[in-house]
Structure 1
Amino acid sequence: MKIAFLTPEYPHTRTGISGGIGTSIKNLAESLVNLGHSVRILVYAQKEDAVFDDGSVVVQQIRNVKIKGLSWFFTRKKIEKIINELYKNKEIDIVEAPDWTGITSFMQPENCPVIIRLNGSDTYFCHLDKRPVKWWNRFHEKRALVKANGHISVSQFTADTTNKLFGLAIPFTIIPNGINVDNFRRDQLIKKEDDTILYFGTLIRKKGVLELASIFNSIVEKKPDARLILVGKDTRDIVSGNNSTWKMMQEIFSHNALEQVEYLGGVSYAEVREYIAKAAVCVFPSFAEALPVSWLEAMAMEKAIVASNIGWAQEMIETNKEGYLVDPKSHENFATAIIHLLEDENQNTIFGSNAMLKVNSVFNNRTIAEKSVIYYQSFLNM
């Protein structure tokens, strides 16, 4: 099968900065190739039109059309033309696109099935983050969903919430994100550092980092030697307009807590794995996710986790089995759960082992790719 992924991001030096959507696509693409399928990544919003190979995956860069007030329309039509040509030349059989900003809303590819995979639309994240959504994005996202041939969601929570927000009743097929577990095996040579807490991800309000500052204050009051390591790029806060979320966090930390915090900024993928390996506990107090790959990476490396208890989390982690799920606004309860795992090495080890086993059986790339292929084939045989 020849599968194309339409995306605004992809993790490669030539295509620019990438987030969770790009990472999940790359993970899936690699496993599809390993299963004998061919993959082409169509990356729009690029500086140039170009095609290059990323290993066994073909990456096609698409430059947006620049026409004042109509760029959105003509860019979509340009992408539509590219898809039609690729399909006509038998270079692709099917296209998958994300729900983010509804890029396929005004496309009508000839005969080529279009699948939308929910990783969280702007409408979805604004809802979870309690912010107003731009009507333009909401309009395109709903139109894209209605027009798509097929629909996948990475979590049932995301599917149900999306249907509710748009007033739809789409029967989404649930296929979660996955990771290459071989890339995230626990390194026996790297020793776990006692009382070390790790957060890795963007420093942004919706991921609960402002809550984390208050949570860590409570931890340090009871465990003065506890350390918090923060890994991830800083961002502007969309609510307050502050240019640095990290600066906002520093204002929340107590004097004693701030002395125990180390902010490393963005680091390489290899370095992230090393920091995960060293951590005693990984924390994710997020308010807005679909099914985060970062959580899977920590789970695969046998880390005990304390995370948000919102919707999607319960599809990843069973509380008291693979970790603790706690309301991130309950600072004391969140802090207590972290302290318990710092102090109870046996429970910490059990949670980490259970988390690794779950990722290996449920969230490994090969399983996710096989489920995706079965779904794609149902549209090719129609």
Structure 2
Amino acid sequence: MNILFFTNEYAHPNLPAAGGVGSFFKIMATQLVKEGHSIKIYGFSKKKHHFFDGQIEVEFFKQYNKKFPLAELGRSLSSKLNNQKLEYYWLKKERKYLAKKLKQFALKHHIDIIQSFTFNGFTAYWDNSIPLVTRYHGSRGFWNHFLGHTGNELKIQLEKKALQQTSYTVANSHFSKSFIKKYYDVEVKKVIHNGINTEVFKPIKQQEKIPQSIFYFGTLSDAKGVDRLAKIFNKVHEKFSEASLHIIGKNENYFNNLKTEVINKNGKSSVNYYGHISLLDLPKHIAKAALVIVPSKGETFGFTIVEAMALEKVTIVSNIPVAKEIITHQEDGFIANTDEDFINHISEVFQNPEAFSQMENKAREKVIKNFSQELMVNNSFKYYEEILAEKK
């Protein structure tokens, strides 16, 4: 099968740092090439790129605002003047340009199926001449609705149009499917959960745990609940003087402010910041944790939850909608409704850590059964086959 992934990011050292979308396409491409399929990564970036990642051909053209600076000036001015009609004109023009470039490339290379993503609605004007699967990893609409962001209404409109444009949208969780229906009024038929590498994220038995240690890894922000985590730790430290907090992730300025403004005086020396740690090095650090906390205000899936569970860590998650889709409360993790719930569950683990070995084992078993990369890739490819069979 000739498969094209249309994207503005891809996980490779020759390209700018990639987020979840770039990592997803890297995983998919690498596995599908091994299975004998032809994979092309095509999209747009600040600069042109053309190289081979093994057998995977990667080509990026210069993004619209770099190639057409006057058009970007027009869009920027219309935004500053709050002329939404004119700003939408420029955004629409960009997306039509992307659709044209994508079609030319896909036809030239005899592509059978294309996969892209929802964020920003870049595929809003695709003509469906070749089947297009759009995967919902997240969206500006989600940011606005759950994380308190404002603005971006025009791009949210384009996200809705992109979702409407193809009947082949994949949600990364049942919660995402429900959100898309409620927020965008678009019905999504297919749910394929995100998957992680359970060989990278596997327990390191020889690594000793730091007693009474709380670990957090991920983005440092209020939206991820890190401010809430700091307040919870203040109360935990009052009960357990040996308790320590370990924070891994980008945004050192945020951490410094947190330590200065939020962490109590007595607890400051027990808070450790590691900065950003690469994915491959992350497990050996998390292996030291007595438990992991995920205090986020909202996630479309929740990679950190699954990664912590795969490492056989007691994982305590805020009661966000997707949590129940991943964790069975008190069986393979905990879901906390309030700060007091967090403190109580932490206290349980600190007071009797050996009692939770079965919970830790069940957590990993669940990830292997439901949230592995192999399952994600296999289910995605089966969906491609269904679509192409339907088209014949």
Q: Does 2:132 match 1:122?
A: no
Aligned partner letter, 2:169: H
Q: What does 1:95-114 correspond to in 2, within 5 Å?
A: 95-108=114-127, 111-114=129-132
Per-residue CA distance 1:51-94 (angstroms, 9 max, x = gap): 22223433222321232336644543443233223322345321
Q: Distance in 2 between matches of 1:27 and 1:355?
A: 23
Contact 2:132/2:168 (<8 A) preserved: yes
Q: Distance in 1 between matches of 2:247 and 2:10?
A: 24
Aligned-residue identity in percent: 30
Change (3 A) 1:292 1:38: farther
Deviates more, 1:203-212 or 1:288-297: 288-297
Contact 1:20/1:292 (<8 A) preserved: no
Change (3 A) 1:153 1:343: same
Q: Distance in 2 between matches of 1:86 and 1:200?
A: 39
Deviates more, 1:63-72 or 1:123-132: 63-72
Q: Does 2:196 match 1:186?
A: no
**Match in the other structure for 2:84:** none
Per-residue CA distance 1:326-365 (angstroms, 9 max, x = gap): 12xx222212212212332233322221111111111111
Q: What does 1:1-382 correspond to in 2, within 5 Å?
A: 1-44=1-44, 46-65=45-64, 66=68, 67-68=71-72, 69=74, 72-108=91-127, 111-166=129-184, 168-234=185-251, 244-250=253-259, 251-327=261-337, 330-381=338-389, 382=391
Which structure exhibits the higher relative contact order, with contacts defined as CA atoms closer than 8 Å and separated by 6 or more residues?
A: 1
Aligned partner letter, 1:262: N
Change (3 A) 1:54 1:306: same
**Matched residue of 2:208: which SS?**
coil
**Matched residue of 1:334: which SS?**
helix
The TM-score normalised by the length of structure 1 is 0.90
**Matched residue of 2:124: which SS?**
coil
Aligned partner letter, 1:98: F
The alpha-carbon deviation at position 276 of structure 1 amounts to: 1.2
The alpha-carbon deviation at position 175 of structure 1 amounts to: 0.4
Aligned partner letter, 1:26: K
**Matched residue of 2:200: which SS?**
helix
**Matched residue of 1:25: which SS?**
helix
Per-residue CA distance 1:272-319 (angstroms, 9 max, x = gap): 121111111111101121112222222111111011121111111111
The alpha-carbon deviation at position 29 of structure 1 amounts to: 2.9
**Match in the other structure for 2:81:** none
Aligned partner letter, 2:175: F
Q: Distance in 1 between matches of 2:197 and 2:280?
A: 14
Aligned partner letter, 1:50: H
Deviates more, 1:1-10 or 1:65-74: 65-74
The alpha-carbon deviation at position 322 of structure 1 amounts to: 1.1
Aligned partner letter, 1:317: I
Contact 1:210/1:248 (<8 A) preserved: no
Aligned partner letter, 2:119: W
Q: What is the aligned length?
A: 369
Change (3 A) 1:28 1:349: farther
Contact 2:163/2:186 (<8 A) preserved: no
Q: Distance in 1 between matches of 2:239 and 2:377?
A: 45
The alpha-carbon deviation at position 174 of structure 1 amounts to: 0.7
**Matched residue of 1:206: which SS?**
coil
The alpha-carbon deviation at position 43 of structure 1 amounts to: 4.0
Change (3 A) 1:192 1:34: farther
Change (3 A) 1:133 1:316: farther
RMSD (Å) for aligned C-alpha atoms: 2.0
Unmatched segments (≥5 aa) in structure 1: 236-243
